[in-house]
């Protein structure tokens, strides 16, 4: 291949590779708005301003593009998981303060409008993609439960929590925080993030109940 031809090929190839982000962004918007069945590859191509063939350069099928959207949320969860133990440890002797901070961050993350829409989408398509739904659970809510369980096990060993089953305690902690707001989020129109005052009240109340059950002084 001559240098002139090579130079003409490289920009086109670079353009195809760079379009991956635009495809993901367009697909996310369309899947979250219209659902899996209501979104076509032609729709995504038009929204991303690329050809359908360019999409297939990155994703072999509509199903693969949908899975990429669903599992992409795991990256955001990993960022949260990485802070779980640090948040509690940073509070030092004020364990309740550390748990309150952790609960607020967790609730703020889950109640983001796009996260709620994605959860609705995964639940709605669980019958069509059961393996994908299971993987989403293991990598997202299940991953958080495991991280919380590790923190609570360490707090128990240090005599700061009174519990027999850290995994069960982690489940209780998560659902005391998320239960009512998330249930509402699955049914009410999603317009904007949960108001900060409501978020803090829900998170702080959940921690009080959690410590009433598992606090070392109970």
The pLDDT value recorded for residue 7 is 42
For 40, left (φ over 0), alpha (ψ -120 to 50), or beta? beta
Q: Which CATH architecture has domain 66-214?
A: Orthogonal Bundle (1.10)
The pLDDT value recorded for residue 20 is 74
Buried b (16+ CB within 10 A) or exposed e, 125-159: beeebeebbebbeebbbebbbebbbbbbbebbeee
The pLDDT value recorded for residue 61 is 94
Residue 45 tokens read as 């191509």
The pLDDT value recorded for residue 169 is 97
- pTM score over 0.75: yes
Instruction: With beta carbons less than 8 A apart as the criterion, state whether 29 and 65 touch.
Output: no
The pLDDT value recorded for residue 217 is 65
Written as tens digits, the pLDDT of the chain (218 aa) is: 444 444 433 333 334 444 678 899 999 999 988 999 999 999 999 999 999 999 999 999 999 999 999 988 778 888 899 999 899 988 888 999 999 999 999 999 999 998 999 999 999 999 999 999 999 999 999 999 999 999 999 999 999 999 999 999 999 999 999 999 999 999 988 888 889 999 999 999 999 999 999 997 65
Buried b (16+ CB within 10 A) or exposed e, 172-211: bbbebbbeebbeebeeeebeeebeeeebbebbbebbeebb
111 SS3 class:
coil
The pLDDT value recorded for residue 18 is 44
The domain limits of the chain are 1-59, 66-214
Q: Between 3.40.50.150, 3.30.565.10, 1.10.760.10, 1.10.10.60, what CATH number should domain 1-59 receive? A: 1.10.10.60
């Amino acid at each position: 291949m001559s240098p002139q031809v090579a130079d003409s090929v490289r920009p086109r190839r670079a353009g195809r590779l760079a379009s991956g982000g635009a495809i993901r962004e367009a697909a996310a918007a369309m899947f979250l708005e219209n659902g899996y069945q209501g979104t076509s590859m032609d729709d995504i191509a038009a929204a991303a301003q690329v050809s359908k063939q360019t999409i297939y350069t990155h994703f072999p099928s509509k199903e693969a593009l949908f899975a990429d959207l669903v599992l992409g949320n795991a990256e955001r969860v990993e960022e949260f998981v990485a802070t779980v133990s640090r948040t509690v440890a940073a509070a030092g002797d004020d364990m309740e303060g550390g748990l309150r901070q952790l609960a607020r961050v967790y609730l703020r993350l889950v109640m983001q409008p796009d996260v709620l829409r994605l959860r609705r989408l995964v639940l709605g398509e669980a019958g069509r993609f059961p393996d994908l739904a299971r993987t989403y659970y293991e990598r997202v809510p299940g991953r958080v439960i495991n991280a919380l369980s590790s923190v609570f096990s360490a707090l128990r060993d240090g005599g700061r929590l009174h519990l027999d089953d850290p995994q069960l305690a982690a489940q209780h902690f998560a659902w005391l925080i998320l239960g009512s707001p998330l249930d509402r989020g699955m049914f009410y129109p999603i317009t904007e993030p949960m108001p900060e005052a409501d978020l803090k009240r829900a998170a702080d109340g959940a921690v009080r109940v959690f410590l009433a059950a598992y606090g070392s002084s109970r």
